[in-house]
Amino acid sequence: MADKQQYTENELLISVASKLLEDNTTALVGTGLPMLAGMLAQKTHAPNLLIIFEAGGIGPIMPTLPISVGDSRTFHRAIAASSMHDVMSFAQAGYVDFGFLGAAQLDRHGNINTTVIGDHDHPKARLPGSGGANDVGSFSRRTIIIIRQDKRRLVEKCDFVTTPGYLDGEGARERAGLPAGTGPYRVITQLGLFDFGGANKTMRLIALHPGVTVEDVEANTSFEIEVAPKLEKTEPPTKKEIEILHKEIDPAGIVLGK
């Protein structure tokens, strides 16, 4: 294993995220860390992971990291150069096992805000909005969320719900007309790994990153967070994973830097 001093925060998050992706499944990923996680999974434990991009690339074998979901590399050796309409239709039809999303705000039920901070009509800040995030979070079987954790981001209630999590709890997605069995699966932050096994489909801490304590997590969360009975420790990235990330996936340092 790589020592704590020998890996960066991003390398840790990518490694943890990649291990959540299973072989022989499909993953709809976005630009940045989700893309690196998908590529790392393909090059390690999940060679048959089918990566899907919002712009229409389905099942590419990317030579190096694309700069966006519309980069030509997201179509390299793909099984289809399709369209955004088709990709979102695949998700709606139930063909997407994993969806990867970021968030500006995330609440205890996994609802995501990427639209506004503050009142919708008179916001403190306007954010990029949904893009395909609502479709991804609504229809993917399991949604993985990557977010930097602090009290401004992990909030009691989102200022605006761009993408539905479990809404207000158990059964709420189904009552809203969303497919049964879908919803947030894991949350990855710089402090730990979370699921939604808490009471009434709330976030629950299931693993801490090396050197992090439960008190650190509590100090950076604006709601009371449940802790799993058996709290695990995440595995740091191996030297081999770090080598793959820098030499094969992102040699230009687009995300990882030089």
Do β-strands 116-118 and 123-126 pair in parallel, antiparallel, or remain unpaired? antiparallel
Active site residue 54: yes
φ/ψ of 254, rounded to 5, equals -60, -45
Which of 11, 54, 170, 174 is catalytic? The answer is 54
Furthest-apart CA pair in the chain: how many Å? 50
Q: Where are the beta strands (DSSP E) in the chain?
A: 26-29, 50-53, 57-58, 80-81, 98-102, 105-107, 112-113, 116-118, 123-126, 142-146, 154-155, 184-188, 192-195, 204-208, 226-233
Would you say the C-alpha torsion 187, 206, 152, 19 has a positive or negative sign? Answer: negative
Alpha helix ranges (H) inside the chain: 9-20, 33-43, 84-92, 133-139, 172-175, 214-219, 239-243
From CA 65, how far away is CA 138, in angstroms rounded? 27
Distance CA 211, CA 209 (A): 6
Residues with catalytic roles: 54
